Amino acid sequence: MTELLTAAQMRAIEQAAIRSGEVTGLDLMERAGAGVVEAILAEWPELVEAPERAVVLCGPGNNGGDGFVVARLLAGRGWKVEVFLYGDPSKLPPDARVNYERWLAIGAVNPWAPAIISTASADLFIDAVFGAGLTRAPATEVMEPLTELYVKGETFDRMVAVDAPTGLCMDSGRPLSGEWGAVHAFLAVTFHKARIGHYLDEGPFYCGKVVTVPIGLRPDQHGPGPALIGAPSSSMLGKGGACNKFGYGHALVMAGPPGRGGAARLSARGALRIGAGLVTLGCPADALAENAARLDAIMLRGIEDAGALSALMSDPRINALCLGPGFGISTREAALIRAALQAKRATVLDADALTLIAQDPSLFGALHKECVLTPHGGEFARLFPDIAERLAAPATTGPAYSRVDATREAAAQAGCVVLFKGPDTVIADPDGRCAINAAVYERAAPWLATAGSGDVLAGFITGLLARGFGPFEAACTGAWLHVEAARSFGPGLIAEDLPEELPKVFRALGL
């Protein structure tokens, strides 16, 4: 996993390095500007030998100082550079002021002029107005000309954001500019480590692409932040050591009445493909024939009521449960959920199970630390209405309330792992540990927006729980593999394809 930082954490890392005497603020600013130029030339290599015209938009803080460095370095490569400054140059921070004066030695600084900026034309635009530390909406005189340039197509594929697109809260990925949104960048160059907002909410939409460049800072000394989920190790997923199928766990997936078994069958198939030793589908007796006609390696068990489920759970080898996909929302299903929770096994609760838990405070109170809740946005709002209301409120000041904040708070309330589904899936446990599975940028998997894909994800997590993964690790690993299976298959994906794509994904991981 790759750690993501808040703006405050990054600021603390920089200040600690400066206080230690290892580096100066000017050193960091110079390295940042150089990193931006290198990233630009790597993204558009044709510009290496053919310098063009650039417009650099600088702000009143250190982000603007980075912009002055970029302007100077581009000019040194033969570019024609026009610089605009928003703010009073006499009030620039010391390091930014130094780089302002260095630029003045070779070029002019134009005062901020919305009418002129909105009609600018260039081969490259640099947004160095407000960076990751933004805490309030930029003024209309900042956002209006930049928005007009984008609407006219002048900055399309030619806007580079230094650290963050102006107007975007980098702790949440939410724009603070109300009607204006944020600047539309096509490349965002950040430093040391990416910020949460680069991967969360609307951040990927406004950033376009993120490149992280080193600026010589040491490993971080701060509290834990959320992590970006990466590929699991082969040692985590490989099978070895167990002598028979029971060594890899026995997962039980509960299905609904006749005609509604497809979702549970998808979950069961996912659990089996991801490596559970055995998977049983439990269903009412009148649904046995339907499910038997569609299943082979997955076993079947008639389970009529909560008593039958409790009796089955006397078998300690059944070590993971999945309830919810295609389940139903009657009193019978509510009783089955209660019996499952009383068994205190690793349990994934999805779909209809979440609806029932949201309706019944006693079921919510029965949740335990071995549970994983997998809500999408609507289910999350029913389970955690107060949290969802805060998340839906307009973001006007930063740091804005984020999906990370919301998921952590939900996990603390529920006392178990919560996986908040979306392109920026957030996973948190009750202790505050948090990770983001971002299906954005080069990992985008729009094909997952298909019926049944969430049921397969529930099955993946259940299968990993059966294999002995902890709830948080199972949720993170299952979510990552879910996206990778979709990316491996590509366009035309339907939910049934996801489990069948896993062997290819495993081979790519070296298993």
Q: Mind listing the pLDDT tens digit for each residue in 299-350? A: 999 999 999 999 999 999 999 999 999 999 999 999 999 999 999 999 999 9
Summarised one tens digit per residue, pLDDT across range 16-31 is 999 999 999 999 999 9
Question: Does the structure show a pLDDT above 70 at 386?
Answer: yes
Confidence class for position 219, pLDDT limits 50, 70, 90: confident
Spatial CA neighbour of 458 closest among 324, 305, 312: 324
271: buried, middle or exposed (CB in 10 Å: 19+, 13-18, 0-12)? Answer: buried
Measure the CA–CA gap between 298 and 279, rounded to whole angstroms.
Answer: 5
Q: Cα separations (Å) of 471 from 52, 74, 286, 299?
A: 53, 50, 33, 24
pLDDT at 234 over 80: no
pTM of the entire predicted model: 0.95
Dihedral (C-alpha) 351, 352, 353, 358: value to the nearest 10 degrees? Answer: 100
Whole-angstrom distance, CA of residue 288 vs CA of residue 305 = 14
57 pLDDT above the threshold of 70: yes
Q: How far apart are CA 87 and CA 166, in angstroms?
A: 15
